[in-house]
Amino acid sequence: MSDYAFFLGCITPNRYPGIEVASKKVMKEFDINLLDMRGASCCPAPGVFGSFDLATWLTLASRNLVIAEEMNVDIATTCNGCYATLQEANHLLKHDPKLRDLVNKSLAKVGKKYKGTIEVRHVIELLSDEIKLETIEKKVKKPLKNVRVAVHYGCHFLKPSETRMHGSAERPTVLDDLVKSLGAENIDYKDKAMCCGAGGGVRAAMLDVALDMAAEKIDNIIEAGGDCLVTPCAFCHLQFDRGQVELNEKLGKKYQLPVVFVTQLTGLALGMDAKELGLYDNAISTESLLKKIQ
């Protein structure tokens, strides 16, 4: 049995608790426990925050890392942004003594110290590297043979590729391979590597721009005949799910493409109940997908 500190971030517990439940259920099926991180805060968000104030960004991130260090387990995440912040902060602090000393001076005020004893893992890494896709394939009870799946990787899971080594950052395959192991048909589509449009503060500051990018990607998936969009990131998940509602309100166009988190799709193939996996909690109905699986 392996234990991980489950870093929930902001969006998973506040907007999509089904992602949390599905991830815990699926991991437990393979003898992995995702443990609560008591006292964890926002990661905080990558990119903008760190660019303006690296020291504060690192200090807040390091406090989350220390919670896992005190638990004596590595961290697992379900958000590319959380993964980016915690993984990058951990990398910087392990390799830069000056930054580590700077952070520890602040942490000392709350009785904590960063030691660099843990790693940060994305749930995708647990599925592909620790559990292994061939093991997942053997446990599939309900192959998703009638489902055409479009995967979205998101930006922060893959880049910078120097520290996030998941194969080619331009032509990744890990999610595609996972979909195939579940018995589904993995489809290619135009601009597959395109950003969801939400990151870097774009969704908050320029919603129309963010929605235009999401619409372009969803249109490409629909044109390719996709039955659903699968995400590895809670923030991308929100952008594509809630974003379709916002697009429908704006354009009067009926976008209805089901958006499913990767552990939810895995849970369906393992024979788990759709309601327990949180698939009825999305803004966009997943009924059309579930009918194909029945």
Domains of the chain plus CATH, in order, are 2-122 (1.20.1050.140), 132-293 (3.40.50.11810)
Output the tens digit of pLDDT for each of the chain's 294 residues: 799 999 999 999 999 999 999 999 999 999 999 999 999 999 998 877 777 889 999 999 999 999 999 999 999 999 999 999 999 999 999 999 999 999 999 999 999 999 999 999 999 999 999 999 999 999 999 999 989 999 999 886 765 656 655 555 567 789 999 999 999 999 999 999 888 888 777 787 788 888 999 999 999 999 999 999 999 999 999 999 999 999 999 888 889 999 999 999 999 999 999 999 999 999 999 999 999 987
3-state secondary structure of 160: coil
Distances (CA, A) of 223 to 22, 74, 130, 217, 248: 29, 41, 35, 10, 18
Give every strand in the sheet of 148-151, ordered side by side.
185-186, 148-151, 228-231, 259-261
Question: How many angstroms separate the CA atoms of 59 and 55, rounded?
Answer: 6
The answer to whether residues 32 and 10 touch, using CB atoms and an 8 Å cutoff, is no
Cα–Cα distance for residue pair 245/150, rounded to 1 Å: 19
Q: The whole model's pTM is what?
A: 0.94
